[in-house]
Amino acid sequence: MLACFGARAQTPGGVAPAVWYRADAPSSVFSDAGSTAASDNATVRQWNEAQGSGRNLLQSTASARPVFSNSSSLANCNPTVTFDGSNDFLQITAGTGVNLIDRANGTIYAAGRVNILKQSGFAGFHASMDYPGLHIQGGNNKLRFYTGGPGYERLSATQFSAGMSFGAGSGWQNGAGTNTSYAAVTVSVNGTRADFSGSEFYNANLSTGARDFRIGADKAKFRFSKKAYNESSSRECLGCREV
């Protein structure tokens, strides 16, 4: 017999995030523009930010919507939003002067399950998810954190695998490396950290044309249960796990 037990986390790792997208949060995942809660196996048009900030993820194109499940496809007993690995994505388009987080000093963290392992980007700023963003590196299947531009990337110590449940992310602080041109960065998968504090990473690219945030649509097939994006100066939340 398989049983699921647990408590709903109030914040990811006890750190207050700037935005938090939770598939298990009441009235957060909708099959339309925010009025009809998604049922099991329904496509997702809107995924609301769980703390009520109004910074909601949207997808107006029906053929590019991921699928919600609260029964048939769970991750660690949690409801999920599943992206098909082809063209599914959700995005928040930032208005002029709006920054979802402080991209000079932030954290991106995701929890879910890998359905099919591919070289892919799965969360980040800009359509490329590179400014900055999280990817799976082809060839070695490690988490690649990318800050935009040549020589702006490093890998986790831990590999992804098909069917793997994960908590993964990266934290960074521009100007905290060897000198003000370099960032201090942590890349983490399931609590195993790779830390960089020298000249390995140039600072995250802060282009005003890369403020939009996207999940999915870069060859990835993922099942996400929770995603948190934090602008705290502390990178310690990357090692925390939700229960």
pLDDT in tens, 170-180: 999 999 999 99
pTM, 2 dp: 0.85
For the segment 27-44, the average pLDDT, to the nearest whole number, is 96
- At residue 38, the pLDDT reads 97
User: Mean pLDDT of all residues in the chain?
Assistant: 82
pLDDT in tens, 194-242: 999 998 888 998 888 889 999 986 654 455 655 555 443 222 222 222 3
Give the pLDDT band (50/70/90) at residue 81: very high
- Higher per-residue pLDDT: 65 or 10: 65
- At residue 221, the pLDDT reads 46
- At residue 190, the pLDDT reads 95
pLDDT at 168 over 50: yes
What domains does the chain contain, in order, with CATH numbers? 17-230 (2.60.120.200)
Task: Decide if 176 contacts 200 (C-beta within 8 A).
Answer: no
Looking at the chain, the whole-number percentage of residues with pLDDT higher than 70 is: 82
pLDDT at 4 over 80: no
pLDDT at 161 over 60: yes
**Secondary structure string (H, E, C) spanning the chain:** CCCCCCCCCCCHHHCCCCEEEECCCCCCEECCCCCCECCCCCECCEECCCCCCCCCEECCCHHHCCEEECCCCCECCECEEECCCCCCEEEECCCCCCCCCCCCEEEEEEEEEEEECCCEEEEEECCCCCCCEEEECCCCCEEEEECCCCCCEEEEEEECCCCCEEEEEEEEECCCCCCCCECEEEEEECCEEEEECCCCCECCCCCHHHCCEEEECCCCEEEEEEEEEECCCCCHHHHCCCC
